[in-house]
A and B are shown apart, each in its own frame.
Chain A
Amino acid sequence: MAEEVILLDYWPSMFGMRTKMALAEKGVTYEYKETDPWVKTPLLIEMNPIHKKIPVLIHKGKPICESLIQLEYIDEVWSDSYPMLPSDPYQKAQARFWGDFIDKKFYDPSWKVWGTKGEEQVAAKKELLEHFKTLETELGDKPYYGGEVFGYVDIALMGYYSWFIAMEKFGDFSIETEFPVLTQWTKRCLARESVVKALADPDKIIEYANILRKKFGAE
């Protein structure tokens, strides 16, 4: 039976990029519907009435919201190939911990470093660099966060990759210089088709960041 999978997403969203990577890893064909989250379409409101945000994964007409939850769902439904989470409960808990860290801690300074100015921006940059350091330390000598195999945490963080360029430009730092080990990891991930196809054009991201900066009053 053909699976009907639809993804409501917005091209610059780091969260949507995660879900696209996961679907690609599993070889799932889906219909992509570009959905501007600033314009609350009836479909978006119907499928995500609580948050009215993208990405929304719609599987056989039923919505799954929140990108990390979508990753777990995709891993469970299409469980016959490329497991993204470890099967061991302790290792799984560690993977979930880092996914949670990325969204709870990394997310805020990751946009404030390009989306704010003055003291707020300086504080965001300091915090962001600390979190990059923490993430690089956690990676250690491993090829991927999960060990030998590209998985959940790699996807959770690579979702932000398109925005690294905006963080660097407006934060005035170089990820390659500050975090060479993490940079090697990004190159390793970029060798995967699922990742490359999910990411946005960096020039378009800079253009979009400039629009948002004006909107937020950062310039």
Chain B
Amino acid sequence: MAEEVVLLNFWPSIFGMRTMIALEEKGVKYEYREEDVINNKSLMLLEMNPIHKKIPVLIHNGKPVCESIIQVQYIDEVWSDKNPFLPTDPYQRAQALFWADFIEKKLCVCGRRAWTTKGEELEATNKEFLELLKILQSELGDKPYFGGAKFGFVDIIMIGFYCWFPAYDKFGNFSIESECCKLMAWGKRCMERESVAKSLPDPEKVVGYVLQLK
């Protein structure tokens, strides 16, 4: 039976990028629908994600899966025959989930604050943001990817930030390349993958989007 896969997304969303990359990695064909989340959320979005009313929403054979980390796990489990994202060992899986949770709970939350604060609070936010990136860089260590030799779950969860780095640099008045060059190298390595290159927007477009918001 042909699988019907639809993704409701908003192009600058780091969260949506995760799901797109996961689908591309598995070679899953899907219909992409752009949502105007700022002005006009579609009835479909409100129906498919009544609790949070947020993108991305993955709709598989008419049934919605919400929250990007959950979507990536779902995609890994349904299309399990190729490119596994998570390790099979339970302890290694728990470590991967831990780092995804860290990115979600700490980095995403801090990153969001960078756009809504100013003055001293913004300075503190920027400082924290760089510290969090350094923690992630430490975790990466000398490995080519977060999972080790292969591109995997944590890489998928984190890589969307790469196209946002120039925007953070510009408005944070710092240089992520100077502060975290190994992390930037990791980003460039990931960008060589077709799934990633296809799913991340042009960083200049992201800068333009942020300028529009501010």
Contact = CB atoms under 8 A, between A and B. Distances in A.
Interface in A25-83: 50, 59, 62, 64-66, 69-70, 72-73, 76-77
A64 B102 CA distance: 13
B66 A69 contact: no
Nearest to A74: B90
Contact of B66 (A76, A92, A97, A134): A97
B67 A100 contact: yes
Contacts of A97: 65-67, 70
B102 A73 contact: no
B74 A76 contact: no
Contact of A90 (B65, B91, B98, B135): B65
B43 interface: no
A72 to B, nearest CB: 7
A96 interface: yes
B70 A50 contact: no
B51 interface: yes
B135 to A, nearest CB: 7
Given A93-B65, A97-B67, A77 B74 contact: no
A101 interface: yes
Given A89-B78, A90-B74, A96-B73, A73 B94 contact: yes
A176 to B, nearest CB: 25
Contacts of A93: 65, 70-71, 73-74
Contacts of A134: 51
The prevalent SS among residues of B at the interface is helix
Given A50-B135, A89-B78, A100 B97 contact: no
B97 A90 contact: no
Interface in B75-103: 77-78, 90-91, 93-94, 97-98, 101-102
A59 B67 CA distance: 29
A96 B70 contact: yes
B98 A59 contact: no
A76 B51 CA distance: 29
Contact of A76 (B78, B90, B98): B90
Given A89-B78, A93-B65, A97-B67, A69 B91 contact: no
A50 B51 CA distance: 31
Contacts of B93: 72-73, 76
Contact of B90 (A65, A73, A100, A101): A73
B60 interface: yes
Contact of A50 (B63, B74, B94, B102): B102
Contacts of B90: 73, 76-77
A73 B96 CA distance: 12
A89 B135 CA distance: 32
A164 B97 CA distance: 29
Nearest to B102: A50
Nearest to B49: A97
Contacts of A62: 91
Interface in A89-107: 89-90, 92-93, 96-97, 100-101
A77 B93 CA distance: 11
A92 B94 contact: no
Contacts of B51: 101, 134
Contacts of B71: 93
A70 B94 CA distance: 8
A73 B77 contact: no
Nearest to B89: A76
21 contacts: A50-B102, A50-B135, A62-B91, A64-B91, A66-B98, A69-B98, A69-B101, A72-B97, A73-B91, A89-B78, A90-B63, A90-B65, A90-B74, A92-B73, A93-B65, A96-B67, A97-B70, A100-B67, A100-B70, A101-B51, A134-B51
Interface of B: 51, 60, 63, 65-67, 70-71, 73-74, 77-78, 90-91, 93-94, 97-98, 101-102, 135
Closest 3 CB pairs between A and B?
A89-B77, A76-B90, A93-B74
